[in-house]
Chains A and B, each alone.
Chain A
Amino acid sequence: MSKYKKEPVKLVPVPSPNIIPERDIDKTPILEVSHLGIDFGGLTAVDDFNMAIGRTEIAGLIGPNGAGKTTVFNLLTKVYQPTRGTIMLDGRDTAGMNTIQVNKMGIARTFQNIRLFKDLTVLDNVLIGLHNEMDYHLPSAVLRLPSYWRAERIAKERALELLSIFDMQDMAYAKAGSLPYGAQRRLEIVRALGTNPALLLLDEPAAGMNPSETAELMENISKIRDTFQIAIMLIEHDMNLVMGICEGICVLNYGKVIAKGSPEDIQASPQVIEAYLGKKKEDN
């Protein structure tokens, strides 16, 4: 389906019931989540979630609708504060931090229901992602000092460079809201990359895309990982995409992890087949 050929990866256990790719084993995992859980008024949405992600891993988070996948993303990015458990980012505990602080520490994300700055241009969207990369102060901006011009010029170049990953530099001055659906999803990824993340969370990046767009997206996700040397975690329902590019996969059902492993392990796991993939195979 895709031109991109995935290298076989050996997953090795790290302390705690987690696995990461062998090549990342010497370094601290970028993300180490243990016993993470959240309750919404007595209802447990996520419980005892454990996961580690290697520094250059592409990890998948799958599960049936309502399994708690987006909730996990919201917990990682502190949109919700967890009720239980710890989130270690690059070996540092993120307890008590907010969305802004974890972003500055290196987590960037996209949203399932696209959240672009719709009335602004594509370029402005990316420049907002690059906000913390620019360092001039308000007086320099008002007085239009050289530091303003320099930072703005560098940021604009960087933004166009990031847009070129998806070949979107020609759309820089179009309104973000006027882009086709697929391009909006891609722009969200570019904006997230602007914040210079170490871990990129993609919430259903291929939703609403046709097969050829999805294939292109798969290549680009791998390309992003290779160029930026960052970890990527994605939620996706498209099994071709997940099995095609993810190295470690975590399966969630009713807020609990039911299986974890390489794509091959997951496809062979009886629990997963029962909860999720079994149905999918019948369809095929």
Chain B
Amino acid sequence: MSLVISQLINGLQSGSIYALVALGYSMVYGIIMLLNFAHGDIIMVGAYVAWLAMVHLALSPILAIILAIIACTLLGVIIEKVAYTPLRSSPRLSLLITAIGISFLLENLAQLIFKADAKRVPPLITGPSINIAGQYVDFTAIITIVVSVISMILLTFLVRKTKMGKAMRAVSEDMVTAQLMGINLNSTISFTFAVGSALAGIGSILYCCTYPQASPTMGSMLGLKAFVAAVLGGIGSLPGAMIGGFCIGLAEAFVSAVGLSVWKDGVVFAILIIVLIFKPTGILGKVINEKV
């Protein structure tokens, strides 16, 4: 019983990180129909910034966290401006290949600068374990889940209730018409990237709390899985991304629990393939038909 609960907590913990990252994928896809492959690598950059801030600049954890989130946000916006904006009217394939290129560029630059070996990130958030129903639960697990849930609530509020959120929804519905209604396309898209990347920054910090390491390729597998989560939930749908994230996290936890942890990655991708075959639009996605 206690094993089930602890695996459940594990699943929710990694699931909430996946959900945060998946939200970024979904938001960007919703607005410019791009699978932003570089999104996972933003997490990696966030981890390195936190490491640099704490180890080399000897800053306090709080400052390191803030710095990492700001760096991620800026990076997301810069990538959008430099690489994606010039290609906005190009074929989707070119945009997708560019995204893959940016992802590889970030990974290889990190490898060049920081070398391939993992860097140990000092603990960012510490606290006592908490007793829940007779079971001691790690403080970071609680923080991860709580922070993720709060972020998701804020994001939902932002998209549903604010003027900027309305602009984002309008652009994702119809870019041209939104522009005719006086919505500034460039700033709306940049804002979307900023929010998505900030969420990736938060995800990066939470990830470092659980696995205190920074390595050049840490973002690729995390990114791929978050991306699977976004597709599973229905890409473009925010509640879908959250559901997808938790599903993937829990699935992984239970595969590990039954002693098949080496097959964890395989199972995640198998879920992806099965979902794509039977419900290509994911759990909450919409079907978009080409006009003939």
Q: Give, as a whole number of angstroms, the nearest-CB distance from B50 to chain A.
A: 48
Q: Check A70 for interface membership: any CB of B closer than 8 A.
A: yes
Q: Check A117 for interface membership: any CB of B closer than 8 A.
A: no
Q: Check B292 for interface membership: any CB of A closer than 8 A.
A: yes
**Interface mask (B266-292 → A, CB under 8 Å = 1, otherwise 0):** 000000000000000000000000001
Q: Check A121 for interface membership: any CB of B closer than 8 A.
A: no
A19 to B41, CA, bound (A): 66
A76 to B177, CA, bound (A): 31
Q: Give, as a whole number of angstroms, the nearest-CB distance from B176 to chain A.
A: 15
Which residue of chain A has the shortest Cβ distance to B292 in the bound complex? Answer: A79
Which chain A positions have C-beta within 8 A of B292?
Answer: 70, 74, 79, 111
Which chain B positions have C-beta within 8 A of A79?
Answer: 292
Q: Give, as a whole number of angstroms, the nearest-CB distance from B236 to chain A.
A: 18
Which chain B positions have C-beta within 8 A of A70?
Answer: 292
Which chain B positions have C-beta within 8 A of A111?
Answer: 292
Q: Give, as a whole number of angstroms, the nearest-CB distance from A150 to chain B.
A: 36
A147 to B292, CA, bound (A): 37
Residues of A in contact (CB 8 Å), total 4
A79 to B289, CA, bound (A): 11
Which residue of chain B has the shortest Cβ distance to A40 in the bound complex? Answer: B289
Q: Give, as a whole number of angstroms, the nearest-CB distance from B125 to chain A.
A: 47
Chain A residues numbered 264-283 whose CB sits less than 8 Å from any CB in chain B: none
**Interface mask (B227-241 → A, CB under 8 Å = 1, otherwise 0):** 000000000000000
Which residue of chain A has the shortest Cβ distance to B289 in the bound complex? Answer: A80
Which residue of chain B has the shortest Cβ distance to A77 in the bound complex? Answer: B292
Which residue of chain B has the shortest Cβ distance to A73 in the bound complex? Answer: B292
Which residue of chain A has the shortest Cβ distance to B291 in the bound complex? Answer: A113
A70 to B292, CA, bound (A): 8
**Interface mask (A102-131 → B, CB under 8 Å = 1, otherwise 0):** 000000000100000000000000000000
A74 to B291, CA, bound (A): 10
Q: Give, as a whole number of angstroms, the nearest-CB distance from B78 to chain A.
A: 34
A248 to B292, CA, bound (A): 25
A79 to B292, CA, bound (A): 8
Q: Give, as a whole number of angstroms, the nearest-CB distance from A70 to chain B.
A: 7
A111 to B292, CA, bound (A): 8
Q: Give, as a whole number of angstroms, the nearest-CB distance from A188 to chain B.
A: 14
Q: Give, as a whole number of angstroms, the nearest-CB distance from A263 to chain B.
A: 28
A154 to B247, CA, bound (A): 58
* B residues adjacent to A (C-beta < 8 A): 292
User: What are 4 A-B pairs with beta-carbon distances under 8 A?
Assistant: A70-B292, A74-B292, A79-B292, A111-B292
Sorted from nearest, which 3 A-B pairs have the closest CB atoms?
Answer: A79-B292, A74-B292, A111-B292
